[in-house]
């Protein structure tokens, strides 16, 4: 293998489609070994087959801590370590205003988008600390900073996930853990199809052509593993920022 991430192992949650699948292709293209995590076993198995022997598919529901712990141990067993965790898995449905929100379904979104990020950090940290360091990238959102109608679950979860990145930096920066969040803007994936179908807020009115391709997000994630992103450690990088796009090589 060759490339800037030769000899690194990357575990990507939500790798069955969208941003996560493109991230897996991009990291593998840089020579990394990849562990593909999602609930849909067939989709990650197909992607692992496409990428080749440097990929392993690990079916896992990130809402369950014991499954994430097992996924990390399977990744270490298959690839010999874990250098980079990409907390990407996330959901938006069900979209509903507060008075109509189903409390159980609302909580299940928190279980994935917020607790799932904690589960990834919690399970990966012992491995990374024992190895002397590691990188944890989490997909954030503009929804962490401002309310969007119908998205109380999503906005709350993304705000909490951003705090988890800041917490990780606060507690483990000195021990070699690089924690970063990436706010991508709107991206042409299944999630945007679901948002469009909801019809509830201005994001649902956007044209498909307004969204950036998931490949751009994947390239930004690879860039975030380089020294060029050091200035952002412990915080959030916005892919709407033209200077970031230029640094990543997208413009
Ligand atoms: N698209 C956008 O405009 C946009 C904007 C800002 C941020 N984001 C964020 O980007 C991330 C990726 O989203 P996307 O746009 O690529 O959406 P997507 O195409 O719907 O993909 C979501 C991924 O998350 C996985 N996932 C969902 N629940 C899971 C669970 N409990 N356990 C494991 N995997 C789970 C899905 O796989 P399975 O269903 O197979 O489990 C799928 O691979 C999300 O965190 C999202 O909030 C997206």
Cα–Cα distance between 159 and 152 in angstroms, integer?
Answer: 11
| Within a domain: 4 | no
DSSP β-bridge partners for residue 82: none
- Strand 9-13 and strand 55-59: the pairing is unpaired
Q: What residues line ligand 1, using a CB cutoff of 6 Å?
A: 13-14, 16-20, 38-40, 43, 61-63, 88-91, 112, 139, 141, 184, 186-187, 189-192
- The stretch 62-88 carries a mean pLDDT of 98
Q: Which domain holds residue 216?
A: 9-246
Instruction: Report the chain's mean pLDDT, rounded to a whole number.
Output: 97
Picking from 221, 239, 214, the residue whose alpha carbon sits closest to that of residue 18 is: 214
| Within a domain: 129 | yes
The pLDDT-based confidence of 4 (bands split at 50, 70, 90) is confident
| Within a domain: 221 | yes
The residues, any chain, with a CB within 8 Å of residue 183's CB and separated by 6 or more, are 140, 141, 142, 144, 236, 237, 238, 239, 240
The pLDDT-based confidence of 2 (bands split at 50, 70, 90) is low
Please confirm, yes or no, whether 158 is among the known catalytic residues: yes
Residue 76 has pLDDT above 80, yes or no: yes
| Within a domain: 1 | no
Cα–Cα distance between 93 and 188 in angstroms, integer?
Answer: 16
- The stretch 52-62 carries a mean pLDDT of 98
In this structure, which residue's CA is closest to atom 32 in ligand 1?
61
| Within a domain: 22 | yes
Q: What is the pLDDT of residue 198?
A: 97
Could you tell me if 74 and 11 are in contact, meaning their C-beta atoms sit under 8 angstroms apart?
no
**Among residues of the chain, what percentage have pLDDT more than 70?**
99
| Within a domain: 2 | no
Cα–Cα distance between 232 and 248 in angstroms, integer?
Answer: 13
Output the domain CATH number for residue 49: 3.40.50.720
Radius of gyration in angstroms for the set of CA atoms belonging to the chain, rounded to a whole number: 17
Number of domains within the chain: 1
- Strand 33-38 and strand 55-59: the pairing is parallel
Tens digit of each residue's pLDDT (9 = 90 or more) over 185-203: 999 999 999 999 999 999 9
Residue 1 has pLDDT above 70, yes or no: no
| Within a domain: 55 | yes
Q: How far is the CA of 167 from the centre of ligand 1 (A)?
A: 23
- The stretch 82-91 carries a mean pLDDT of 98
Residue 84 has pLDDT above 50, yes or no: yes
Give the total residue count for the chain: 251
Q: What is the pTM of this model?
A: 0.98
Residue 210 has pLDDT above 60, yes or no: yes
Could you tell me if 27 and 34 are in contact, meaning their C-beta atoms sit under 8 angstroms apart?
yes
Residue 247 has pLDDT above 70, yes or no: yes
The one catalytic residue among 8, 115, 158, 172:
158
Dihedral sign computed on CA atoms, order 54, 58, 64, 67:
negative
Q: What is the pLDDT of residue 148?
A: 98
| Within a domain: 41 | yes
- The stretch 216-230 carries a mean pLDDT of 97
- The stretch 154-163 carries a mean pLDDT of 98
Tens digit of each residue's pLDDT (9 = 90 or more) over 171-181: 999 999 999 99
């Amino acid at each position: 293998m060759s490339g800037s991430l030769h000899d690194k192992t990357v575990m990507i949650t939500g790798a069955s489609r969208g941003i996560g699948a493109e991230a897996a292709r991009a990291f593998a293209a840089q020579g990394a070994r990849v562990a593909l995590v999602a609930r849909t076993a067939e989709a990650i198995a197909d992607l692992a087959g496409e990428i080749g022997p440097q990929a392993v598919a690990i079916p896992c529901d990130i809402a369950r801590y014991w499954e994430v712990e097992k996924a990390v141990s399977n990744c270490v067993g298959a690839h010999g370590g874990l250098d980079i965790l990409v907390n990407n898995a996330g959901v938006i449905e069900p979209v509903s205003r507060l008075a109509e929100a189903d409390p159980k379904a609302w909580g299940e979104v928190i279980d994935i988008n917020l607790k799932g990020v904690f589960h990834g950090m919690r399970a990966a940290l012992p491995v990374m600390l024992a190895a002397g360091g590691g990188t944890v990238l989490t997909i954030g959102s503009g929804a962490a900073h401002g309310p969007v109608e119908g998205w109380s679950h999503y906005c709350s979860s993304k705000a909490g996930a951003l705090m988890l990145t800041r917490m990780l930096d606060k507690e483990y920066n000195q021990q070699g853990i690089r924690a970063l969040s990436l706010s991508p803007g709107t991206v042409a994936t299944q999630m945007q199809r679901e948002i469009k179908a909801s019809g509830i807020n201005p994001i649902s009115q956007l044209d498909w052509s307004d969204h950036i391709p998931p490949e751009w997000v994947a390239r930004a994630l690879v860039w975030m593993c380089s020294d060029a992103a050091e200035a952002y450690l412990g915080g959030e990088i916005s892919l709407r920022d033209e200077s970031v796009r230029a640094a990543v090589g997208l413009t």
